[in-house]
Amino acid sequence: MKLSLSVLALSLALAGCASIPPDTQPLPQQDLATIQLAADIHLASEGWPAAQWWRQFQDSQLDQLIEHALSSSPNLEVANARIGSALSAFDARHADRGPRVDLGANANRQRYSGNGLMPAPIGGNYYNEVTVGVQAHYDLDWWGKHKAQIAASLGEVNARRAEYAMAEQMLAAEIARHYFSMQSGWARMDNLHALVKLQQQLVTDKEKRIANGLGVSDDHLSAQTRLSLLQQQIALLETQIVTEREALRALLGADSSALASLQPKEAQALPHALPGKLGMELLARRPDLQAARWRVQAAMSTIEAAQAAFYPDIDLGASFGLDAIKLGKLLQSGSRTLFIGPALSLPLFDSGRLQAQLAGARSERNELIADYNQNVFNVVRDVAQAGAKVQGVENQLRLQEENLRASEAQLRNANARLKQGLADRATQLNAEMTVRGQVDLGMQLQNQRQNAEINLNVALGGGYRGSSDFADTASTSKRSTQQ
């Protein structure tokens, strides 16, 4: 009979709950399995970028710079602080899920009205009342409201961690770009100085030919102009090297002597390794996409918590204490008080507050899904553009190498004709300068290829291995938190 009454009471309570409005405009989430690159983006061998992708360049100086930056750069402090804020919110939600025990004590002196409900001798007299008690509360969370709130907080924690990983990747990429730009500047500087020497020799040769009546002043002026242009390039390159150095120093958060030990190092062009298929396995490596996905999952949990608010809230409470109107009787057995029992809160009419909260949670979910879907296409764009850039630079390098070989062949012919007296010194100098010009172009293309490789590694997620399963990560994080 008691069981039947309990079931009936519960049924009536559920019937009296505010009705949950249907979700009429859910936004579909982009399916990663259907995402592919365009057919003209040709990918090479299978493989993923390593987490420390910069080590593929085999440059110990670059490795040390990035390791130093990742351990102490001010650029990561904001992202790290955001993780701390998210963890604090998660801990607060997790603490709300557990039982609560409070100790309370109260002492007061009160005069009771002689004309009130209390008759004499209480009415019309002063009495001291002392109360000491322990109260315990536990929310049974029948509808999973607290569980959903914890899951939403955990989703935000993981999103912040993914954002931190993205900040690390972007920091490493910026350091690598500025470092390689410095190295390219140093290498080009040596080549440009060699070009200046050759051009000065050519100017001298023109002056001698004019002095001997074998040349014209226009040729001499043209040679002087080219010499000035080369010297201008050197000045611009010197400024660029200083600018890159200061940008690199700012990224490291280091003093003026931090980069004094850097030495020129010849670049090693390495073959890139691109995946043959663009799908969920690849896109899940992007930290920014992973962060967007975690926020969508957190929004789903927020909706679950908002829906649970429509159901009765059952709270189990207990209280044990001592209450006496005289301090001397407080510790006597007759002063004991005891209470235990459930408390039920049932939403019947709230002027649409619950519906508004649920609608807001659903709107935020749609906003985050739209952001996620856009991020998916942004990732595809980034990978496609980075892959196309690598391919384009490699094609340019192949053509440049052919031009360099042709220029070197012309230089050999010019040297041979000069020895045989069939060509003048100016012809040989021009041929050697053409070779130096091709070398300078090759250095610029090599730097472009390095930047393209960096962009490609970042576009591929930089080897980031975040969790792809919400439930597994949630349980793992919960266990680590409890420990």
pLDDT in tens, 370-427: 988 888 888 888 888 888 888 888 889 999 999 999 999 998 998 888 888 887 888 8
Top mean pLDDT of 14-18, 287-291, 335-339 is at 287-291
pLDDT of residue 283: 61
Residue % of the chain over a pLDDT of 90: 17
CA–CA separation, 361 and 401 (whole Å): 59
The closest of 79, 50, 57, 43 to 177, measured between CA atoms, is 57
What pLDDT digit, counting tens, does each position of 93-117 carry? Answer: 777 777 777 888 888 888 878 787 7
For the chain, list the domains and their CATH numbers: 25-97+141-311+346-468 (1.20.1600.10), 102-140+316-345 (2.20.200.10)
Q: How confident is the model at residue 17 (pLDDT cuts 50, 70, 90)?
A: low
Q: What is the pLDDT of residue 238?
A: 94
Query: Any idea of the CA torsion for 243, 246, 247, 248, to the nearest 10 degrees?
Result: 120
Tokens of 169: 């990747």
**pLDDT computed for residue 399 by the predictor:** 93
Distance CA 447, CA 441 (A): 10
How many residues appear in the chain? 483
Residue entry with tokens 């890139």: 272
Band of the pLDDT at 216, cuts 50, 70, 90? low
pLDDT at 400: 92
Q: Is it the case that residue 3 has pLDDT exceeding 70?
A: no
What's the rounded Cα separation, in Å, for the pair 469 and 299? 16
Residue 307 has pLDDT above 80, yes or no: yes
- pLDDT number for residue 468: 42
List the structure tokens of 239: 């400024």
Half-sphere exposure of 409 (CA within 13 A, CB side): 6
Confidence of residue 321 (pLDDT cuts 50, 70, 90): confident
Q: Which two tokens stand for residue 364?
A: 């935020």
Closest C-alpha among 73, 258, 83 to residue 171: 73
Contact 366, 25 (CB under 8 A): yes
10 pLDDT band (50/70/90 cuts)?
low
47 torsion bin: left (phi>0), alpha (psi -120 to 50), beta (else):
left
Q: Tell me how crowded residue 250 is: count the other CB atoms within 10 A of its CB.
A: 14
Res. 31 pLDDT band, cuts 50 70 90: low
pLDDT given for residue 236 in this prediction: 94
Q: Could you tell me which of 380, 287, 386 has the C-alpha nearest to residue 44?
A: 386
Tell me the HSE value of 320 on the side-chain side, using a 13 A CA sphere. 3
Q: What is the pLDDT of residues 329-354, one digit of tens each?
A: 777 777 777 778 777 777 776 667 88
Q: What is the pLDDT of residues 115-157, one digit of tens each?
A: 877 778 777 788 777 787 787 777 777 777 778 888 888 888 8
What is the pLDDT, as a whole number, of residue 152? 83
The residue-averaged pLDDT of 297-326 equals 80
Whether the CB-CB separation of 316 and 137 falls below 8 Å is answered with yes
Taking 50 as the threshold, does the pLDDT of residue 471 lie above it? no
For residue 15, the model assigns a pLDDT of 45
- pLDDT tens digit sequence for 48-80: 467 788 888 889 999 999 988 888 777 777 777
Q: How far apart are the first and last CA of the chain?
A: 45
Q: Give the whole-angstrom CA distance, residue 48 versus residue 162.
A: 18
Q: Which has the higher per-residue pLDDT, 42 or 244?
A: 244
- Kindly indicate the confidence band of residue 444, based on its pLDDT and cuts at 50, 70 and 90: very high
Query: For the chain, how long is the longest CA-to-CA vector?
Result: 139
**DSSP classification of residue 144:** -
Q: Average pLDDT, whole number, for the chain?
A: 78
At position 396, the amino acid (one-letter code) is Q
pLDDT tens readout for residues 241-276: 999 999 998 888 877 677 888 888 887 766 555 555
Contact 151, 478 (CB under 8 A): no
